[in-house]
Amino acid sequence: MSAVNSDMASEAPKRKKRTFASVMQTLLVFVMLASFAMITQQLEVFFTVGELEIDLGLLLYQIGLGTLIFSSLLQIAFGNIPPGASFGKTMRILGIAIAIIIAVFGIGILLARPLTEMGS
């Protein structure tokens, strides 16, 4: 009977190890869901720190909005990484994606003033 049990144990399906990119994509989805919850909350709780009065609802909204923007940009980068990529390849592609995102925002910032001056 023990021989049968050992044969069955060796035939048990092995769990496939998830890659870093797939784990990060899953994590980013949950971070984005949490940030949506922070944005849509409507708390009206105020507390005072020293002489400063803080609106907790507004603070959560601001943190949620920043988190959503950051996690969305990271999701764009991780979404373009092949599922089977190794950690090193993932980091290289992530670096390239972040460089492209920075370049696009930089060009947009540099072109904003000249384009608005042309329009007025």
Range of the structural domain that residue 110 is part of: 19-119
22 pLDDT above the threshold of 90: no
CA atoms within 13 A on the CB side of 77: 22
Residue 12 within a domain: no
Please check whether residue 45 lies inside any domain of the structure: yes
Q: According to the model, what pLDDT value does residue 3 have?
A: 55
Q: Is residue 37 part of a domain?
A: yes
Confidence band of 85 (pLDDT split at 50, 70, 90): confident
Position 44 in a domain: yes
How many domains are there within the chain? Answer: 1
Q: Assign 103 a pLDDT band (cuts: 50, 70, 90).
A: very high
Does residue 60 lie in a domain region?
A: yes
CA distances from 59 to 21, 47, 67, 68 (A): 31, 11, 12, 14
Domain-located, residue 6: no
**Please, are residues 31 and 23 in contact by the beta-carbon 8 Å criterion?**
no
